[in-house]
């Protein structure tokens, strides 16, 4: 029997995603929490060579983190490692509405779909909870006057969707046929036929794309401060980026590390003003500094850990080398549309929807297929706008199915 070991910690969205993927495959694993046990933490670092969680081992094979496991899944190489050979036959189920994705857009669509009597099934996908799980304080959610943790808000959404009667499925869709009705979605643990589909697969964090960045991933390069920040307590770190995510990472890390340097390729931030003001206050105190008009051109290190970054001026072209113990990348996201690019119209990677004021605003290029949230939004990309578009998509799906039933009856 395959033995799976996963090192995790408290408040780790990527750990949650890794666990959800393994559960979706019916795989049992031994979870080792390193949050409070320094000896176990040291064991994980020695065994994996990484300062990042989760770290996953299948028998004696070191898989790496969630991104590594997701890459294996995308390449079709994870199942053989888990001892799942060939293509197993799973039960086929039929649904009026299937929602793909478990962020604010997906849960909102499920809640509205359930209230409309569409008996939705929601398929969680790889990134359970979406980007909101990597957000610490959510201060712009209406009604959240006392502040909310992103992970707590996602949990509330999930419980709300479940209470409305939504069927929640821990599965990952690996192929989709949207060329005919009913639509056919094939997952790791089931096949789903759907009269209507709402795609709410969100977006995934970008990396810089440097070979040296890949070489040091998990060894000082990270895209999740809440996951990996505690490995660098009282050390010096760099955050790359200038939007909301980057400044939120910098603010979170400033409570853990000795000093934060923000490297941004522009001469101004694009984040909300309130975040800029908070970062400026830390700059004034000396806890944070900013290097403007520069980008990271190379990650350097020794003994398998990050120690320096080579920066290049975006205006001047000059180069400089700065010392650091870690680099946290927060430069934006790419929409998760790969699965649908052959069936649906896209622009710059985002799904194209009808828009306008005549209804069916969230419909894609295929009637009966709707899109909500960041997967179709290159502009706003907020939790509240994602939730709103999820509600719109469910209302559009209800209207579509009603019109179809009336046409058949006529």
CA distance 271 to 332: 12
Query: How many other C-beta atoms can be found within 10 angstroms of the C-beta atom of residue 355?
Result: 11
* Contact indicator for 389, 354 with CB cutoff of 8 Å: no
Question: Which CATH number do you get for residue 139?
Answer: 3.50.50.60
**pLDDT tops 80 at residue 85:** no
If one compares 132 and 272, the residue with the highest pLDDT of the two is 272
Strand, helix or coil for residue 320: strand
How many domains are contained in the chain? 3
Task: State whether 178 and 73 are in the same domain.
Answer: no
Residue 87 lies in a domain: no
* pLDDT tens sequence across 104-151: 999 999 999 999 999 999 999 888 888 888 777 788 899 988 878 888
Residue 66 lies in a domain: yes
Point out the residues that are catalytic: 224, 227-228
Task: State whether 194 and 342 are in the same domain.
Answer: yes
Structure tokens at 151: 């992970």
* Contact indicator for 173, 194 with CB cutoff of 8 Å: no
Strand, helix or coil for residue 155: helix
CA distance 257 to 371: 40
- Which of 329, 364, 393 is the C-terminal boundary of a domain? 329
Among residues 294, 81, 87, the alpha carbon closest in space to that of 208 is found at: 294
- Average confidence (pLDDT) over 311-319: 97
Side-chain half-sphere of 344: how many Cα atoms within 13 Å?
Answer: 34
Tokens 């793909």: give the residue.
Answer: 100
The whole-model pTM stands at 0.86
* Contact indicator for 370, 397 with CB cutoff of 8 Å: yes
> Which residue range is the domain that position 18 belongs to?
4-82
Question: Which CATH number do you get for residue 54?
Answer: 3.40.30.10
CA distance 387 to 104: 5
* pLDDT tens sequence across 166-208: 999 988 899 999 999 999 999 988 999 999 999 999 998 899 9
Among residues 188, 230, 219, 179, the alpha carbon closest in space to that of 20 is found at: 188
The dihedral sign for the CA sequence 355, 356, 361, 364: negative
């Amino acid at each position: 029997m395959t033995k799976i070991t996963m090192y995790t910690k408290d408040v780790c969205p990527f750990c949650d995603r890794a666990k959800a993927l393994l559960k979706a495959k019916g795989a049992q694993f031994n979870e080792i929490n390193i949050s409070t046990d320094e000896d176990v933490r040291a064991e994980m670092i020695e065994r994996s060579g990484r300062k990042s969680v989760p770290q996953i081992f299948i028998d004696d094979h070191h898989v790496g983190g969630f991104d590594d496991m997701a890459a294996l899944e995308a390449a079709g190489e994870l199942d053989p490692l888990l001892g799942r050979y060939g293509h197993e036959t799973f039960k086929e189920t039929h649904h009026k509405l299937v929602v793909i994705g478990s962020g604010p857009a997906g849960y909102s669509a499920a809640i509205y779909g359930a209230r409309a009597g569409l008996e939705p099934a929601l398929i969680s996908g790889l990134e359970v909870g979406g980007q909101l799980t990597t957000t610490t304080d959510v201060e712009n959610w209406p009604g959240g006057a006392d502040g909310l943790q992103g992970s707590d808000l996602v949990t509330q959404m999930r419980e709300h969707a479940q209470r409305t009667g939504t069927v929640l499925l821990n599965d990952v869709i690996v192929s989709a046929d949207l060329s005919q009705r009913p639509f056919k979605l094939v997952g790791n643990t089931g096949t789903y036929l759907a009269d209507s589909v709402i795609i709410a697969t969100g977006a995934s964090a970008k990396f810089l794309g440097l070979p040296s960045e890949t070489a040091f991933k998990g060894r000082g390069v990270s895209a999740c401060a809440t996951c990996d920040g505690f490995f660098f307590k009282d050390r010096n770190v760099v955050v790359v980026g200038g939007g909301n995510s980057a400044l939120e990472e910098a603010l979170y890390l400033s409570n853990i590390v000795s000093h934060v340097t923000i490297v941004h390729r522009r001469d101004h931030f694009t984040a909300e003003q309130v975040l800029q003001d908070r970062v400026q206050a830390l700059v004034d105190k000396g806890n944070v500094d900013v290097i403007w008009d520069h980008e990271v051109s190379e990650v350097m290190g020794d003994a398998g850990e990050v120690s320096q970054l080579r920066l290049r001026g975006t205006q001047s072209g000059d180069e400089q080398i700065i010392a650091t113990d870690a680099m946290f990348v927060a430069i934006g996201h790419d929409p998760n549309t790969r699965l649908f690019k052959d069936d649906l119209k896209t622009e710059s990677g985002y799904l194209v929807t009808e828009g306008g004021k005549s209804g069916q605003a969230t419909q894609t290029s295929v009637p009966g297929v709707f899109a909500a949230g960041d997967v179709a939004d290159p502009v706003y990309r907020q939790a509240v706008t994602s939730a709103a578009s999820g509600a719109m998509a469910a209302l559009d799906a209800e209207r579509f199915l009603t019109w179809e039933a009336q046409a058949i009856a006529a």
